[in-house]
Structure 1
Amino acid sequence: MQATLLPPGLVGGRDAVGSTPAKHFTTRAITWAVNQLLTRDVVISALARDLQVGWRTLWKAIEGPLQERLKEISDQASVEALGLDEHVWRHCGPHKNRMITGVVDHTRPKRGKDGKTKPFARLLDVQVGRSGAVAEDWLASQGKEFASKIRIAAIDPYRGYANAISATLKEADMVVDIFHVTKLASQALDEVRRRVQQDTLGRRGHAKDPLYRARRLLLTGAN
């Protein structure tokens, strides 16, 4: 079966063996060939003809990248715990959108002989922008099979992400990740400390004030 039309600029150079017009593969050429194999009804021999190389030459170039892509697809199919979080990717410059949405796999591995599991995080994708629409579009693009396997969805306390989870992952339990829970709890405790300081002394804390001296103990003490 014939492959799709070959985009220009994928290969270049000459083969040093005989007169065969084999080429030096660019990263773009390898990516194109792997995508053709994974997304279209095409065989390697058809791709080799389009690239003007032999079957073995093409297979040697794409075998490694193809196996990596297949492993990524397999790993993504087993995602049961998903995390969504924002990040500022650029703090200055002319770019209008400085925020990105990170998608992370938090699925814990199987329990070991000691009966415990280790924390796990694997970055699945990064999307430009921070909104419910960005998150919902990404989740919808993964398909119903991917969504049906998600059991836990961890987010930061942002309504846009919560709406996206509610719309696309209806069977998942939505939780707020522990970092933001701890941050919010610490912030609330610190605000109480400041309010008590103002109510009792009528001013902000000074270095020798008991509440000011205990501010770190309040946030780090286990009791």
Structure 2
Amino acid sequence: MDLPIHGKQVGLLIKRQRYHCRDCNQTFWERLDCTIDEKRNCTKRLLSYIEKQSIQRTFVSISEDIGINEKTIRNIFRDYINRLEETTQFETPNWLGIDEIHIMNKPRCVFTNTEERKLIDLLQNRNKETVVEYLSRLRNKDRIQYVTMDMCQPYKDAVKAVLPRAIIIVDKFHIVRMANQALETIRKQLREGCHKELTEMKESYFDIWDCDNRQKAFLKYNAWKAKIPTELQSAFEPLIKAMKNWEEEIFAYFDHHTTNAYTESLRSLIRAMNRLGRGYSFEVLRAKMLFTEGLPKERRPYVKV
């Protein structure tokens, strides 16, 4: 089999010479090493095409295009990934993002380079022990300056244990989303007359995140908290408790303005890849994501949000 042409499968009929050795009386075929991969029964250029395509496309779609069995496509993909993992080094970032995604009936931990917007790895689970082990194995882990995450205590404990000098920053969008959900829940539970008051409180809370330094943000937050009506204190208690327990990590955002936006967006890409595969193993999904979203891309300027 050879590269498809205009959407049509292409097969080559090759005539090659068979030889007979007069000394040993053995027969052998003319070698075609320069153009044919005899293990896969295809041209080397098709093999290279399959390798590149298998990272981004489903095995079934490639099989239908070129006329090679899907199992063979999977085997080519496996060999290619093994080769890539042996030759590819993922650089430890300055800005590390940690998040999780629930796929294949299990929560998985996602590590990203938030500064350069690249996937670093996707782990089998999100257990503290697994995260600690992974962080401990990172080369040059001391170069990590900032770690963005949601309010997950096991992640925080793991980072504190392995990267004590790194600054932990709670993702701005996570805490804002939490506040928004709390306010909307209150809105549904209260009488119509309170909607205007809640809207004002919501907007004034969101205004906190426009502050350009920690001190202003902290003062503005305390002013907002002091204005909460007595009858709404219990409804806002989960948000206020979270702000208190994670105060240092939440307000660290105003010192460094680093978010986990890329990590959050990556979760939708992982889910899309998983749906597309319809039956990928975790190892296959991890490899496909790692060698599409993990490999170096064209450098774009980082925009603070």
TM-score after normalising by structure 2: 0.39
Q: Which residue does the alignment assign to 2:136?
A: 140
- Is 1:105 aligned to 2:113, yes or no? yes
Give the 5 Å matches for 1:167-206: 167-187=161-181, 204-206=189-191
The whole-number CA distance in structure 2 between the counterparts of 1:17 and 1:169 is 63
Q: Which residue does the alignment assign to 2:31?
A: 20
The whole-number CA distance in structure 1 between the counterparts of 2:167 and 2:100 is 20
The whole-number CA distance in structure 1 between the counterparts of 2:174 and 2:84 is 40
Q: Which residue does the alignment assign to 2:159?
A: 165
Selected match of 1:123 from 116, 119, 125: 119
The whole-number CA distance in structure 2 between the counterparts of 1:33 and 1:87 is 27
Q: Secondary structure at the match of 1:86?
A: strand
The whole-number CA distance in structure 1 between the counterparts of 2:180 and 2:77 is 48
Q: Which residue does the alignment assign to 2:202?
A: 219
Structure number with the bigger relative contact order (C-alpha 8 A, sep ≥ 6) is 2
Q: Which has the larger helix fraction?
A: 2
Q: Secondary structure at the match of 2:123?
A: strand
Contact 2:108 2:124 in 1 (8 A): yes
Aligned length: 143
**Deviation sequence 1:69-98 (CA, Å, 0-9, x none):** 3xxx2xx425100011122224xxxx4xx2
Counterparts in 2 of 1:150 and 1:89: CA distance versus 1, 3 Å: same
Q: Secondary structure at the match of 2:160?
A: helix
Q: Which residue does the alignment assign to 1:79?
A: 93
The unaligned stretches of length 5 or more in structure 2 are 1-12, 17-29, 41-46, 48-75, 208-305
The whole-number CA distance in structure 1 between the counterparts of 2:179 and 2:101 is 21
Between 209-218 and 127-136, the greater mean CA deviation after superposition = 209-218
**Deviation sequence 1:41-62 (CA, Å, 0-9, x none):** xxxxxxxxxxxxxxxxxxxxxx
Question: Match for 2:170: what amino acid?
Answer: V
The whole-number CA distance in structure 2 between the counterparts of 1:122 and 1:142 is 16
Q: Which residue does the alignment assign to 2:193?
A: 210
Instruction: Give the CA deviation at 1:176.
Output: 0.7
Q: Secondary structure at the match of 1:77?
A: coil
Instruction: Give the CA deviation at 1:35.
Output: 5.0
Contact 2:183 2:198 in 1 (8 A): no
Counterparts in 2 of 1:135 and 1:77: CA distance versus 1, 3 Å: same
The unaligned stretches of length 5 or more in structure 1 are 1-14, 39-68, 108-119, 198-203
Question: Match for 1:20: what amino acid?
Answer: R
* Paired-residue identity, %: 18
